[in-house]
Structure 1
Amino acid sequence: MARRTGNIDEFEFIAIGDYHNQGRLAVEILISGFVFSKEDYVRPWEGQIDNMERFALLWESRNLIAVSTAIQDWLTSSLALELMRQGAMMTVLSSLVAALALPAVLLSATNFIDSKWSIAVDRSDKAGRLLAEVLLKGYQGNRPVTLIGYSLGARVIFSCLQALSETERNAELVERVVLLGAPIAIKDENWEAARKMVAGRFINAYSTKDWMLGVAFRASLLTNGLAGLQPVDVQGIENVDVTDTIEGHSSYLWSTRKILERLELEVCYPVFKSKEKEE
């Protein structure tokens, strides 16, 4: 499947939690998108208590670590610190929402992020289509699936839903979706089609303080809005403002569990026990 998708070098499910091979009738796939090590693919999802069989998706670690490190390096640069001190980043967010141009000094300062970010975005879209193929082939045992992802991991999920919408066999594969800090355009993407692929809740969590997301994805989103920064006005999509929890894009690494607890996703699924297990 990876060969057919193209350019995807890493795509692996990591079992997390205590409920594997116990007859759980629901699956949860958790996707990180801003990471500094392979441990960050699992760390944000640890400690969550539910009764589903849970998997973290390890994907394209080389590219994700590269872009995350580039963004972090820029954040700690003298220019970024000075812009933050001057309060210029709030102007950045205002510009994004108002579809205005970003300050020239900010554009030139972030040029070195662009190539890495573009590659990571391309890989996330391809990984999403690969995830859709995994679901269509029933590798999860044809059980209801919950998809949760932050940053580019949220984009993987959205790409997956888009791919599912293009197929004939797509009903009842995905039960719930949670997008956190999603780098996804609002206007030029078919959110309605993606929503139809989700049987239950479809949540878009955003932070109006996540200016780094806007800077990194500025080129195509200045006029199209950004789901990670503002609500998505589509029927059936539940928008949740997490600005009080998320100070910046990297906050999702350690605040994901807190946000999920706030969303109250807990649902009690039955457990199937075969006669062999009972004996």
Structure 2
Amino acid sequence: NASEFGETKKMFMIISALVIWKCLRELVKRQQYGLIDSVVLIGAPISSTPVSKWEEVSSVISRRFVNAYATNDIVLALIYRMHSLDLNVAGLSPVNCSGVENFDITEYTTGHLGY
């Protein structure tokens, strides 16, 4: 329940999108809907499919859920794809889920080490 974490909205600020994602998945398991105010994932090494996982995670976020991706992130493209056969990577392309705002930041970064 919400009292377990307090009544005020929380905000995650961390450099690892994967850590944020795992925290959000745990909040889904605990049914902490709307607990987090906003989330911005930058260069996320997370599959953008299935969309149902993104919909579940968005249920714990009360305002903005942003996926910032860069098509020139060679590090993410190589490393993620070495560990997964999935070609749909949130950090490289938009996530097709209502409630997720996608921003192409390719022109603002040189890649994964430029975040």
Q: 1:144 corresponds to which residue? A: 9
Q: 1:240 corresponds to which residue? A: 103
Task: Assess if the C-alpha contact under 8 Å between 1:161 and 1:197 holds in 2.
Answer: yes
Identity %: 35
CA distance in 1 between counterparts of 2:40 and 2:54 reads 14
Residue ranges of structure 1 left out of the alignment (5+ in a row)? 1-134, 253-279
CA distance in 2 between counterparts of 1:136 and 1:218 reads 40
CA distance in 2 between counterparts of 1:221 and 1:246 reads 24
- Give the alignment's TM-score, normalised by structure 1: 0.38
RMSD: 2.0
Residue ranges of structure 2 left out of the alignment (5+ in a row)? none
Aligned with residue 174 of structure 1, among 33, 36, 39: 36
Q: Which protein has greater RCO, CA pairs closer than 8 Å, 6+ apart?
A: 2
Q: 2:21 corresponds to which residue? A: 158
After superposition, the Cα gap between the structure-2 partners of 1:183 and 1:241, relative to the gap in structure 1 and judged at 3 Å, is same
After superposition, the Cα gap between the structure-2 partners of 1:149 and 1:136, relative to the gap in structure 1 and judged at 3 Å, is farther
Aligned with residue 205 of structure 1, among 57, 64, 68: 68
1:128-143 to structure 2, matched below 5 A, reads 137-138=4-5, 142-143=7-8
- The structure whose Rg is larger is 1
The residue identity in structure 1 corresponding to 2:42 is L
After superposition, the Cα gap between the structure-2 partners of 1:221 and 1:233, relative to the gap in structure 1 and judged at 3 Å, is farther
Task: Assess if the C-alpha contact under 8 Å between 2:73 and 2:112 holds in 1.
Answer: yes
Q: 1:51 corresponds to which residue? A: none
Question: How far 1:143 moved relative to its partner?
Answer: 2.1
* Superposed CA offset, 1:110-144 (max 9, x none): xxxxxxxxxxxxxxxxxxxxxxxxx9743xx5421
Task: Assess if the C-alpha contact under 8 Å between 1:187 and 1:224 holds in 2.
Answer: no
Task: Assess if the C-alpha contact under 8 Å between 1:148 and 1:179 holds in 2.
Answer: no
